Amino acid sequence: MSFKQPWDIEVKFLKGVGPKLAEFFAKADVHSLWDLLLFLPRTYEDRRTLHTYSEIQQLAATDSAVMGVGLIEKISRRSTGPRGRSLTEAVVRVLDPGMRGEQVMSAPAGDPSLKLPMGGTLMDPRIVFTWFYDPGGGIEKRFPPGTTVVFRGKAQIFRSIVQVSHPELQKSESELPWWEFGGFMPVYREISALSTRVIRKIMAQALGREEVRLIEETLPESLRKELGLPPLKDSLRELHFPKQWQPTGEPVIPAGPYLQRVAFEELFMMALALQLRKSEWSNSAALQRRKVPSFSTLAPGRLQGFLKKLPFELTPGQRAAIDDIMRDVSHENVEVPMHRLVQGDVGSGKTVVAFVAALLMMDENFQVAMMAPTEILADQHYQTFSKLFPERAHECLLLKGALSVKQKKEARSALSEGRARFVIGTQALLTDDTLFDNLGLIIVDEQHRFGVKQRILMKGQTSGVSPHLLVMTATPIPRSLALTIYGDLNLSVIRDKPIGRIPIETHLVRKKAHLALAKRLAKFLEEGRQIYLVYPLVEESEEMDLKDVQTAHAEWCAEFGADRVGLLHGRMKSKDKEAVMRAFKAGETRVLVSTTVIEVGVDVPNASVIVIEHAERFGLSQLHQLRGRVGRGSTKSYCVLVGPDKAGPTVEERLQIMLESDDGFRIAEKDLEIRGPGEFLGRRQSGLPGFRVAHIMRDIGLLERAREEAERILARDPELTRPEHQGLKEMMQRWWGGRMELTLSG
């Protein structure tokens, strides 16, 4: 193809963008013209009609948005407060919307003696604009008396005068741009300083470009017709500037055929990419004729032997997961290495399942590597293993951070001499490519934290054998989604929890009730309980949040005594983290002020109270994970969510779900519904890149269909080499290729 495609055009070269704005766009992952087209509006505004004065009066009575043409008759700014506060007011004569140019000039002149509003009344057809701040300065200079403007804003009646505060203004001498008025106009999510208005203008101009007019249809015509979906190009245009729109009161764009078309594109391309990747893996394994580790004979008593050593009986769910694993690695299945995902709610006991699998492998003389998302967790797994299987502890090796040459050498010799067979660590395991020579099993804990890239890396670094892969996650996703996303993984679900767990009592308190909370916590401490106090650490304002935790730590130290309160966050040195965690585990510190570094996996049974500050800033699944830090011992546990004093209905609804449910699966579904999978699974790290358009709960039907269609196409053309599939293949690579680490050639 000789002409440029929308993805070949960097956003900074678009009209009205430039390097500065391009930086803002990059924050929203908009890098190319194509990305821009996929940056869909949140909703639309009805800007079809300019209102007359009497319509404006009526609309103002219900505090509604108005739009009209007006002549500025008077405008002035005066200071109203000590700190440079000012009020700018304009008296505006509303003109007949049909009026333009000379007509405006010859319209009846205003009464020059009119007083500005406080107290007075204005004659028809005049209204007032007010600005309580003027950040740029000089509104009155930009819109001097005599200027004709098109205005838009929420109108209200104040002392029987129609007022519009902070109106959107556009000088109207020149032709009005079509993207401002005269139709249904998109409202975008603002990106930093990029207002919806600026984005709208850039979008309108971008849509006129040749590359957009030349966007080719990717779906085979027959399939598109069968699905009843409009062409891709038309859909993109309609989504930004629709010809029809029915306001629903909800701030979402309608899930009509245009949105479905683009969502289908996204899901279909994902399904294709995933299936291609899956066959790529199995092909490469077959090509290299790798050996797959398997048990020819498994002495029947051996599994029982491990289980007898455990201080508890396995739950039926744990047993079933172990059975699944045994089946995957047993003799009949030697052709294909295991690819299994174990899902189980927080506290359902996934670790021990992994350990049993590890022991089985180790006894066949294979090495086992277990990756945890944090050092704290790797540490804990190492300790747990040593505690549960003390006579095997010497075979287990903990690897963290960057290893020195000497440590590497030592680790390698321990492995090669068979002194160690089980390596537990973090991602650091990935960077050491020569540690293993007979790796039989890779265990990845809390899979949603790892990218696909890492999974492939791990698989790639072993030679000789194709190791089995066992992935564990506490973030359950609906089965149909799992099948699509983890098309390459089989699924075991642990639905039950160990018996005898006392349900956690969850409370929602308000920020303003802090004093009462502090008192209650003091009482909990007296009872001998240990407490987590969790503060959010979100990416955008990490520095500030970090201060927040540190300040909080200081405050709680003052409250409970510095020697009893520990502080833990991700920026600390690994040695310090370890020390803090150990002190808390040993009960030396009683309170742990922490960021979400404790979110996954951490297991301190004596900690029976968790307080989550700014609960509104966490996702539901994250709250559930955090809550899962308590309720692990024999005493009743409490989870206190500290919410904002005043919250909007969606926040309130979300927090309410936490009070109602303790079922991680239900919570995850709710969370998915509310946030969509991109956010839900943790954007970058998830291994599943976020969707830009599709919404997993809304589009679940489309997803199934996309999977079927992808299968059907690949059955006929397994590598998409046919000429009629070239457009499809290119689109797939554009959409998902880079993000899924596809290595397809040509």
Binding site for Mg ion (CB under 5 A): 601
Residue in this structure with the two tokens 């190791």, named with its chain if needed: 467
Q: How far is the CB of 609 from ligand ADP (least distance, A)?
A: 17
Tokens representing 52 are 């007359």
Per CB under 6 A, the segment of 103-111, 307-315, 391-399, 526-534 that binds ligand ADP is: 307-315
Nearer residue to ligand ADP within complex by CB, 45 or 375: 375
CB 266 within 8 A of CB 691: yes
| The binder of ligand ADP chosen from 344, 476, 566, 737 (CB under 6 A) | 344
| The binder of ligand ADP chosen from 48, 312, 365, 390 (CB under 6 A) | 312
CB 150 within 8 A of CB 69: yes
Nearer residue to ligand ADP within complex by CB, 95 or 472: 472
Q: Indicate the angle between helix axes 664-680 and 620-627, nearest 10 degrees.
A: 130
Query: Which residue from 5, 526, 435 is spatially nearest to 214, judged by alpha carbons?
Result: 5
- 80 burial (CB, 10 Å; 0-12 / 13-18 / 19+) is exposed
- Rounded distance between C-alpha atoms, residue 577 and residue 571, angstroms: 9
CA distances from 475 to 198, 271, 480 (A): 39, 21, 15
Residue whose beta carbon is closest to ligand ADP: 349
| 314 touching ligand ADP, by CB under 6 A | yes
Stretch 611-650: interaction string toward ligand ADP, x if CB under 6 A: ---------------------x------------------
| 603 touching ligand ADP, by CB under 6 A | yes
| 315 touching ligand ADP, by CB under 6 A | yes
Query: Which residue from 609, 627, 629 is spatially nearest to 618, judged by alpha carbons?
Result: 627
Residue in this structure with the two tokens 């004729």, named with its chain if needed: 289
Q: Phi and psi of 408, rounded to 5°?
A: -60, -45
- Rounded distance between C-alpha atoms, residue 452 and residue 685, angstroms: 9
- Rounded distance between C-alpha atoms, residue 93 and residue 103, angstroms: 14
| 351 touching ligand ADP, by CB under 6 A | yes
Q: How far is the CB of 627 from ligand ADP (least distance, A)?
A: 12
Beta strands in 80-173 (DSSP E): 86-95, 126-131, 148-158, 161-165, 168-171
Stretch 490-529: interaction string toward ligand ADP, x if CB under 6 A: --------x-------------------------------
Nearer residue to Mg ion within complex by CB, 110 or 373: 373
Query: Which residue from 469, 470, 489, 463 is spatially nearest to 290, judged by alpha carbons?
Result: 463
Bridge-partner residues for 75, per DSSP?
Answer: 90
Q: How far is the CB of 625 from Mg ion (least distance, A)?
A: 10
- 220 burial (CB, 10 Å; 0-12 / 13-18 / 19+) is middle
- Rounded distance between C-alpha atoms, residue 123 and residue 242, angstroms: 39
According to CB under 6 A, which residues from 124 to 183 bind ligand ADP? none
According to CB under 6 A, which residues from 182 to 201 bind ligand ADP? none
Which is it for strands 468-473 and 439-445: parallel, antiparallel or unpaired? parallel
Q: How far is CA 643 from the centre of its chain?
A: 21
Q: Phi and psi of 423, rounded to 5°?
A: -110, 125
Tokens representing 198 are 């600026």
Q: How far is the CB of 449 from Mg ion (least distance, A)?
A: 11
| The binder of ligand ADP chosen from 41, 242, 347, 619 (CB under 6 A) | 347
The count of residues interacting with ligand ADP (CB under 6 A) is 18
Q: Which does 498 bind (CB under 5 to 8 A by kind): Mg ion, ligand ADP, none?
A: ligand ADP
According to CB under 6 A, which residues from 456 to 475 bind ligand ADP? 474
Q: How far is the CB of 347 from ligand ADP (least distance, A)?
A: 5
Element (H, E) at 638: strand 638-643
Q: How far is the CB of 594 from ligand ADP (least distance, A)?
A: 17
Q: Which does 352 bind (CB under 5 to 8 A by kind): ligand ADP, Mg ion, none?
A: ligand ADP
| The binder of ligand ADP chosen from 68, 125, 349, 440 (CB under 6 A) | 349
Q: How far is the CB of 311 from ligand ADP (least distance, A)?
A: 8
Element (H, E) at 704: helix 700-716
Per CB under 6 A, the segment of 125-133, 293-301, 349-357, 676-684 that binds ligand ADP is: 349-357
Q: How far is the CB of 456 from ligand ADP (least distance, A)?
A: 24
Per CB under 6 A, the segment of 26-34, 88-96, 339-347, 425-433 that binds ligand ADP is: 339-347
Q: How far is the CB of 474 from ligand ADP (least distance, A)?
A: 5
Q: How far is the CB of 378 from Mg ion (least distance, A)?
A: 12
Q: How far is the CB of 446 from Mg ion (least distance, A)?
A: 6
- Rounded distance between C-alpha atoms, residue 631 and residue 269, angstroms: 42
Tokens representing 344 are 């189980």
| 227 touching ligand ADP, by CB under 6 A | no
Tokens representing 646 are 């005043």
Nearer residue to ligand ADP within complex by CB, 180 or 445: 445
Per CB under 6 A, the segment of 229-237, 348-356, 456-464, 544-552 that binds ligand ADP is: 348-356
Cis, peptide link before residue 125, omega less than 30° from 0:
yes
CB 114 within 8 A of CB 145: no
According to CB under 6 A, which residues from 538 to 577 bind ligand ADP? none
Nearer residue to ligand ADP within complex by CB, 346 or 720: 346
- Rounded distance between C-alpha atoms, residue 449 and residue 427, angstroms: 11
Residue in this structure with the two tokens 């308000």, named with its chain if needed: 510
| The binder of ligand ADP chosen from 343, 348, 506, 596 (CB under 6 A) | 348
Three-class SS of residue 501? coil
Q: Which does 681 bind (CB under 5 to 8 A by kind): ligand ADP, Mg ion, none?
A: none
Q: Phi and psi of 74, rounded to 5°?
A: -150, 140
| 65 touching ligand ADP, by CB under 6 A | no
Residue whose beta carbon is closest to Mg ion: 601
Cα-trace Rg, the chain: 31
| The binder of ligand ADP chosen from 350, 448, 654, 695 (CB under 6 A) | 350
Q: How far is the CB of 352 from ligand ADP (least distance, A)?
A: 5
Q: Which residues contact 2 (CB under 8 A, 6 or more apart)?
A: none
Q: Which does 632 bind (CB under 5 to 8 A by kind): Mg ion, ligand ADP, none?
A: ligand ADP
Per CB under 6 A, the segment of 20-28, 236-244, 312-320, 508-516 that binds ligand ADP is: 312-320
The secondary structure of 186-225 as a DSSP string is EEPPPBTTB-HHHHHHHHHHHHTSHHHHTPPP-S-HHHHH
Nearer residue to Mg ion within complex by CB, 601 or 690: 601
Q: How far is the CB of 84 from ligand ADP (least distance, A)?
A: 55
Q: Which does 349 bind (CB under 5 to 8 A by kind): Mg ion, ligand ADP, none?
A: ligand ADP
If one counts every other C-beta atom within 10 angstroms of the C-beta of residue 150, the result is: 21
Q: How far is the CB of 697 from ligand ADP (least distance, A)?
A: 25
Per CB under 6 A, the segment of 59-67, 241-249, 343-351, 700-708 that binds ligand ADP is: 343-351
If one counts every other C-beta atom within 10 angstroms of the C-beta of residue 96, the result is: 15
Q: Which does 604 bind (CB under 5 to 8 A by kind): ligand ADP, Mg ion, none?
A: none
Per CB under 6 A, the segment of 20-28, 173-181, 350-358, 585-593 that binds ligand ADP is: 350-358
CA distances from 85 to 79, 81, 119, 133, 134 (A): 6, 5, 21, 7, 9
- 3-class SS string, 254-300: CCCHHHHHHHHHHHHHHHHHHHHHHHHHHHHHHHCCCECCCECCCCH
Nearer residue to ligand ADP within complex by CB, 209 or 501: 501
Q: Given the rule CB under 6 A, which residues bind ligand ADP?
A: 312-315, 318, 344, 346-352, 474, 498, 601, 603, 632
